Structures are given as structure tokens and as C-alpha cells.
Amino acid sequence: MSAATPAPAPAASSRESIALSVLTNPLGLIAAILLVLVIATAVFAPLIAPFAPGDLQIFKINAPPGDGYLLGGDGSGRDIFSRLVYGARNTLIGALIALSVAAAIGVTAGLFAGYFGGRREVVMSWIADGLMALPALIVLLAFYQSLGSSIQVSMVIFGIMLSPGFYRLTRNLVNGVKHELYVDAARVSGLSDMRIIARHILLVIRAPVIIQTSIVAGISIVIQAGLEFLGLGDPSVPTWGGMLQDAFANMFVVPTAILWPGLAISITVASFVLLANAIRDRLQQGNRTAPASKMPKVVAKPVGAAPTDNDLLLDIRELVVGYPGKTGWTEVVKGVSLQLRKGEVLGLVGESGSGKTQTAFSVLGLLSTGGRILSGSIWFDGRDIANLPEDEMQKLRGKRIAYVPQEPMSNLDPAFRIGFQLTEPMMTVLGISRSEAKARALKLLAKVGMPDPMRTYKAYPHQISGGMAQRVLIARAISCSPDLLIADEPTTALDVTVQAEVLELLRDLQAEMGMSVILVTHNFGVVADICHRVSVMKDGKVVETADVRTLFADPQHDYTKMLLGAVLDDVTPRTYRPRMLKEVSA
Amino acid sequence: MLSYVSKRLLSSLVLLALVTTLTFAMVFGGADNVAQNILGDNATDQQIADLETKLGIDRPLYEQYGTWVAKAVRGDLGMSWTMGESVSKILSGRLPVTLSMVVLAIVIIGVVSALLGIAAAVRGGWADRVIQLISVVGFSLPNFWLGLILVVVFALNLRWLPATGYTDFTTSPTGWLASLALPVGALVLSGIASASQQVRGAMIDALRQDYVRTLRAGGIKPSSVLFRHALRNAMPAALTVLSLQFIGLLGGAAIIERVFAIPGLGSITVQAALSGDIPILMGVVVTMIILVVIVNIAIDLTNAWVNPKVRL
């Protein structure tokens, strides 16, 4: 094997491109210009300021603007404008000190804790938590006597107190990437830890650290001004906070004097925040789409008249579903037509991304954020529900159309007991009392094969297994005797043995209650086991619909043949039903 | 849960010990000219030496520390060097003032942030823009500057509210509210700025969870999905932010109390810092850490109650 060159970190755009695109954002550009102005003011203060910051003119105490003093005089007769200019210098130096200390300690500790983990991480995290539990200003006040009136020394201490922010950020980022394949590849190829950190991990943490830096700069400026305002700074050094202190002392004489230093602080801090926001927006741009509110309004027109066949429960006609993309609607379902009779089980088969789940969610009226039915009709029991208002749709859900999800554990609310999650829909949908709902829930739990219904009733979701959770979800779905059950890959997330039991349960319940079922799956084994008819979907379209036996015996479409071929190569179609499993589950 | 609380208390005790030791070393190590400061420039060397003996700061640092700890664990924080009263007495008189201000601020921050955050998470639109604006403005305006502006506008120009001072709640509830309206107003903006964003993020996360879709699919009312299920799952993140806010407010109170001449813990800290009254400073540090520990434990217990998965 030749020396592997680890692939570069994904999504790591170069510094130049970030800087450029931040400047194309109007707010980012304004913030950058303001910051450059503040920094230039600080650097060239002696050239800009008309007076030295300490120049006194006794007749200009609290003087109004004019006569050489652009913004008037302060309580000692010094030029407010000149002091603002020199204040920028001292403020930025203080912020830079706090920032450098915080970033140096926090990022280094975060890199080591995140990369090496173990006991070091525990200790460092404990220290970080401890530092975060201290009110920084109180600590700085307490230390004032020993630190002296040099605000710069205080800012070093403040930097230490701010370091947990950098530490946590860096540690979490490193924890997130250290097991990425490209980092593993670098390790396998023999790069030393230091090289990996320098080459791969620093690249990932760079942008978030820059954002944090910008925000910490803002915090430092505010806290520094606060300390100076309290009189903890060196009175001979012109600072924005010190100027506020002076203005505060003369507030009843010249109330407007409090404006200038405060504005200087606020504008500088706001520039840092806006810059951070602009960088963040830039980083998030990759996965951003046009907001749904800006998309053209669409109202799907009914296709044809209501079906006359009373036996037909669901009649989907030419359904088109779209999501807002970067350039208009991206269609994920492209003209699907499906029919479902009463008491029939329809398998909806296809690879992931074929639009089968989106079709199912359209029937429930539960497309993800931004998703729309662009055209087509969904006739359900003689009514087109494709454009039904949300409150009308809500009355159908649970009562007439129910849903069993794919991943059982994430579909139960972790904060509530199973019992509550079973009784709440019954009380809402059927309007029955709590005690009646409880009695029914316990019966349902027994029916879906729970060995100890009361125990499950009282359990929290994290206390039961995945298979049990799926049974609970099935119990909840059938609790209000729906006409249509939509099961979205109900067995995919379960162990193989449990899969068979859950399918068995679904089949028994369907037969007993006579409800219609749409079973979304990619598994032909499941289809063969339980479905009457099958529709095969590919790229948002139905390519073939047939009776289940016909489809297995004589697939028409190439895609169906391919799918069947992929499954059936090493598996013989099941011709028997594992009856003994039912006894176990009953 | 009992073991959790005891573990937490133990960890907090270690923190308390570390911080007080460090503070003690820092503060007393720099106490060379405390006597000089207290007595003024005209004091004779003999007077200074006498005072140092009286205060005990002529002894070695570890000896002083031993004495302080031995007394502190019995609740005796010593005598103030400049105010002629016991530290415990001074602090216990001032703690309720600061606490009433901070608690009022936290309640307002919590309620406003919850409303704004939920509205922004659910509706987007105007609430989202308000939150974005507040997050920049609230972050950029130093709270004491905001306080000064509030004083100029509402106390000096409009004369609606008192500019300074504090009225006890037991003396006059309306007076209490009036005296705290401006300081609390100055304190809450930055808190709302960060907390409302956190609530928004936590709510958006909660609403994205699979079980929310499944609840809706089961016909659960939108109000229940939002306020019973999503809000409860978003609560831990929001509460954690509030605990950080509480710590920030304790510091912020120091400056705000100065602006509004409120006789609380913050203003005495500033006074003690400037005059070098070390026993008071030590007392303040101890009090603050204990407050923070209590709040953090309370928040953890609430989180465990809200989220059964958290095992204490």
C-alpha cells in the first residue's frame, strides 16, 4: 500500500474566501469598515486628536461643543473628542489582552482535552465549570487591591475567566471530528498527534474560534469599561469607561456627556457582534435554502371528481410534492397516483429518496418544514384532503388516519410516561375520560403483546426496549380505530427476530380491525409477508403497481426486476408463515 | 438523587475552598499598605504598625488563613476593617436588596425570553427579527450605560421614577417596584438578548424531533404539542442558560447598584475593593459562590424532574 495521503477536511474553505464573502454581506461590510475605523483611530490617535488627552483648560469645564472642543469639555476641562480618540487605543489594547489570554488558554486546553480525552478532560472540565460559576466582575473587584489600578493586569485575569468559553467550544468541536474518517486515515498513515492537530483539527475549529473571538472581544470591552466606570482604572489614562465615570459625576450638569463614550463602546461592540454573525451566516450558507415564505404560493387543483366507488378508501391522483430549493421548487414526488381499497394492505416500495415516505406524509398532511403539495389530489373517503386546512386535517389524524413511524425510540416523547402518551390521544380524539382511557390503554398494551401492561404503562420510554416501543406506537396508532394506517418502515430499526413479531402483530391487527394499511418499506420480504398489492417507486414516480403474487412472479419494469434481483439472489420467497411466533407474542 | 446532591455539594465545597484560598492569597498578599490606606497619609509608622497588629496582617499568610477558615466554617466572617461592624451583619443586611433585584431580573428575563423565543421558533417572521435585533443591541449596550440613559430619560427629564435609592419591599411594595424599575430595566436587556436566542434554538430543536411529528399524526392538539411536549423538552437548555444569567447578573449588579446608589452586595463590594476592606471582600466571594451553588443545584434538580432520562 502506498503512503496514504489523507483527504483534506471537508467544508474547509480557505480563509480568503470566508473574508471575501463576509464582506459581500452588507452588515458584515459595515461592521468591518467600522472596526477598521476604530483600529485606525487607535493606531493614529496622536495624529487625529486635536489635543493631548490630559490637556486641561480650566474655563472649559463641562463646556458645550464648539470653540475647538468638538464635543465639548469634560468635568476637568479636557477635550472629550480627543479623549475618545485616545480611549479607543486603551480599550482595544485591554480587549486584545483579555482575548489573547482567553484564546491561548481555552483553545490549547480544549484541543488537548478533546483530542486525548480521559482524566485530563475530566480535570480540565471541572476547572472550566468552576471558573464559569464565578461572577467575573466580583472576582476582579476582590483582586483589585493586589492587582492595582492597571486595567491591563485585570484584563489578564479576566482573560483567564473567559477561557472556559473557548475551552468548551474547542473541546466539543474536536470531539466531533476526531473520529472522522480523514482523521483516522491521517493517524493510520502515521502522522504524529501534533501534526494531525495542526493540519486537520485546527482547520475545523478555525472559523468557530474566530466567531467566539469576535464575541469575546465585545464582552471584554464592556467589562473593561465597567471596571473603569467603577473607578478601578488608572485615572491618568483616558478610557471610554473612565470618561463615562466622569460624565456620570457631572450627569446633572451635562447629561449629554454620557452619550459619546457609551456610543463609542456600543458601536465597537456591535461591530464585533455583526462581524461574528456575518461569519456564522457564511458558514451556514452551505445548507441553506430559500425561505418558504419567499416561494410563490401554490394551490393544488383537484384532479377529477370524487371517486364514485364506495369501496375505494384512498385515491391519490397525480400527486406532486416539492420543497424549496436554491432555484425554485425541488420536486420529490412527481405525479404519483395510488389507489387503496378498504381493508387492503398496499406496499410502497423503493430505495431511499424514491419519494415513498414523502407520499405517505402528504396523506397525513405532515410534510417537513417548507414542503408543499404542488398539484394533484388526495381523495380520502370521498373528500379531497390535499388542500385541507390544518385544523380540518388535525381532526382526521389519529381518528381516521393513523401513523406508525420507523424509529420507535425517537418517536416517543422522552419526558412523559408511556401511559400518558397512550391516553392523551384517546382523550383528545375520542373525548373519553382519563380513567376510561387508562382502562383502554392497558387493554391495548396487552393486545400488542406486552407481558406486564401496568409496568409498561408506568414506564418512561428509555426504560423499554425498541421492540416494545414499537408495539407501544402501534397500540397508540390503532387506539382510536383508524380507517387507514400508514406504517413507515415499521420494522427497519428493529432486530431481525423482533421484526417478524411486529409484522405478525400488524397483520393480525389489520385482519381483526379491517383497516386499510399503507406499508412503506424497502424490504421485499416484508412485502411478501403482509401486503396484498405493491407499488414500486423510483425517483418520485410509481413505476409499477401489481398484485403481490403477480409482481413477484412476473415483474414488468426493469427497476422492479433489479430490486427483486437484489433481494432474491440468496433468499427464497417465504411460503410459510411462522405461526409459532404468534404464540410467543400473544 | 441523594448521592447526586451530596456529590454536588462535595464538589462545590472543593470549589469554595479553592476559590477562597486563591482569593485569600491574592487579596491578603497584596495587603501591604492596607493600614496606610485606612489611616491616611498622615499616619505615623507606629500607628500603622499598631493597626497591622490589630488587624492581624503582620502575621504570616498561612497563619492568617488558618484563623480565617477556622472562624468562617463557624459562620464568623470577621469584622470589617473600615465599617466597624461584623461582615456577616453587613452582608446579611445587603443580600436581600441584591437578591430582590436579581430575582426580579431573572423572572423578567425568563418570561420575556420564553415568549420571544417560542414565538420566534414557531412563527419566525417578526419575532425572529426582534430577537436578532435584541441580540445585537442587548449585547452591545453596556448595562450601566443603558442605566445612565434610563436615568436621564425617565428620572431627570420625564421625572417618572426615582433616579437613585432603594425602598424596602416591606416598607412599600410600590416604592420597591419604582426603585427597582430602572435598575432592573438596565439589567435585563442583555439577559433577554442571550436567553431568548437560546430558548429559540432549544424550541426549534425540540420541534424538529421525530416524536413531534408522531404526536401530530396522532391528532394531539397543536397547543399540547407545543406547550406540553416541545416546551418541556426544551426546558433543560433554557434553564441552564438562566443559571448562567444568574451568575452574570450578580456581577452586573455591582455596577448597576453603583449607578442607582442601591445599598446592595454589589455596591459594598466596590466600596470594599476601593478601600481595601479585605474581610468584606472575602465575605462577598463566599456568599456569591454559595448563591451560585444553590442556584445550580436547584436548576439541576429541576432538570432531572423535567427530564426523566437524567439520573441523579
Q: Considering A285, A318, A336, which residue would you say is the last residue of a domain?
A: A285
> B122 CB near a chain A CB, below 8 Å?
no
Question: At A156, is the pLDDT very low, low, confident or very high (cuts 50, 70, 90)?
Answer: very high
Question: At A577, is the pLDDT very low, low, confident or very high (cuts 50, 70, 90)?
Answer: very low
Residues found in chain B: 312
Instruction: Using alpha carbons, select from A269, A271, A261, A371 the residue that is nearest to residue A324.
Output: A371
B window 84-103, beta carbon within 8 A of A: none
> B226 CB near a chain A CB, below 8 Å?
no
Q: For residue A484, what pLDDT is reported?
A: 92
Minimal-distance CA residue of chain B relative to A406? B210
Measured between beta carbons, which residues in chain A are less than 8 angstroms from residue B19? 130, 134
C-alpha span between A316 and A340 (Å, rounded): 9
C-alpha span between A237 and A250 (Å, rounded): 19
CATH number reported for the structural domain that contains residue A229 in this entry: 1.10.3720.10
Q: Which of A366-375, A458-467, A562-571, B28-37 has the highest mean pLDDT?
A: A458-467
Whether the predicted pLDDT of B167 surpasses 90: no
Q: Are residues A281 and A402 in the same domain?
A: no
C-alpha span between A560 and B218 (Å, rounded): 33
Q: Considering A531, A548, A574, which residue would you say is the last residue of a domain?
A: A531
Could you tell me if residue A378 is inside a domain?
no
- Rg for chain A (alpha carbons), in Å? 34
The arrangement of strands across the sheet holding A401-404 comes to A401-404, A484-488, A516-521, A345-349, A533-538, A541-547
Could you tell me if residue A446 is inside a domain?
yes
pLDDT per residue as tens digits for the range B213-226: 999 988 888 889 98
Q: Are residues A279 and A403 in the same domain?
A: no
Whether the predicted pLDDT of A46 surpasses 50: yes
> A476 CB near a chain B CB, below 8 Å?
yes
* Minimum-distance CB partner of A146 among B26, B259, B282: B26
Q: Do A266 and B211 touch (CB under 8 A)?
A: no
pLDDT per residue as tens digits for the range A118-143: 888 888 888 888 888 888 888 888 88
Q: For residue A583, what pLDDT is reported?
A: 41
Q: For residue A574, what pLDDT is reported?
A: 52
> A134 CB near a chain B CB, below 8 Å?
yes
pLDDT per residue as tens digits for the range A198-252: 777 777 788 888 888 888 899 899 999 998 888 888 888 888 988 888 888 887 7
Measured between beta carbons, which residues in chain B are less than 8 angstroms from residue A293? 124-125
Could you tell me if residue A237 is inside a domain?
yes
Whether the predicted pLDDT of A578 surpasses 80: no
Question: At A572, is the pLDDT very low, low, confident or very high (cuts 50, 70, 90)?
Answer: low
Q: For residue A287, what pLDDT is reported?
A: 44
Could you tell me if residue A339 is inside a domain?
no
For chain A, what percentages of helix, strand and coil (3-state, to nearest 5) are there? 55, 15, 30
C-alpha span between A142 and A122 (Å, rounded): 28
Q: Considering A235, A266, A285, which residue would you say is the last residue of a domain?
A: A285
pLDDT per residue as tens digits for the range A436-470: 999 999 999 998 888 899 999 999 998 998 888 99
Q: Do A405 and B214 touch (CB under 8 A)?
A: yes
Domain of A157 in residue numbering reads as: 23-285
CATH number reported for the structural domain that contains residue A469 in this entry: 3.40.50.300
Say how many domains are in chain A.
2
Least confident span in A47-61, A115-129, A317-331, A518-532: A47-61
> B285 CB near a chain A CB, below 8 Å?
yes
Could you tell me if residue A376 is inside a domain?
no
Question: At A579, is the pLDDT very low, low, confident or very high (cuts 50, 70, 90)?
Answer: very low
C-alpha span between B87 and B79 (Å, rounded): 5
Q: Are residues A101 and A229 in the same domain?
A: yes
Residue range A305-334: mean pLDDT, rounded: 84
Q: For residue A5, what pLDDT is reported?
A: 39
* Minimum-distance CB partner of A403 among B23, B139, B217: B217
Strands (E), A426-555: 484-488, 516-521, 533-538, 541-547
Whether the predicted pLDDT of A284 surpasses 80: no
* Minimum-distance CB partner of A412 among B26, B211, B255: B211
Question: At B51, is the pLDDT very low, low, confident or very high (cuts 50, 70, 90)?
Answer: confident
> A233 CB near a chain B CB, below 8 Å?
no
Report H helices in A178-315.
Answer: 181-188, 193-196, 202-229, 240-249, 259-284
User: Which domains, from first to last, does chain B contain?
Assistant: 2-63 (no CATH), 93-310 (1.10.3720.10)
Q: Do B211 and A411 touch (CB under 8 A)?
A: yes
SS3 sequence of A342-407: CCCEEEEECCCCCCHHHHHHHHHCCCCCCCEEEEEEEEECCEECCCCCHHHHHHHECCCEEEECCC
> B15 CB near a chain A CB, below 8 Å?
yes
Q: For residue A15, what pLDDT is reported?
A: 54
With a pLDDT cut of 70, the percent of chain A lying above it is 89
Q: Which of A64-78, A520-534, B157-171 has the highest mean pLDDT?
A: A520-534
Measured between beta carbons, which residues in chain B are less than 8 angstroms from residue A136? 251
pTM: 0.81
Could you tell me if residue A182 is inside a domain?
yes
- Please tell me what DSSP assigns to residue B209: S
Could you tell me if residue A315 is inside a domain?
no
Whether the predicted pLDDT of A12 surpasses 70: no
Could you tell me if residue A294 is inside a domain?
no
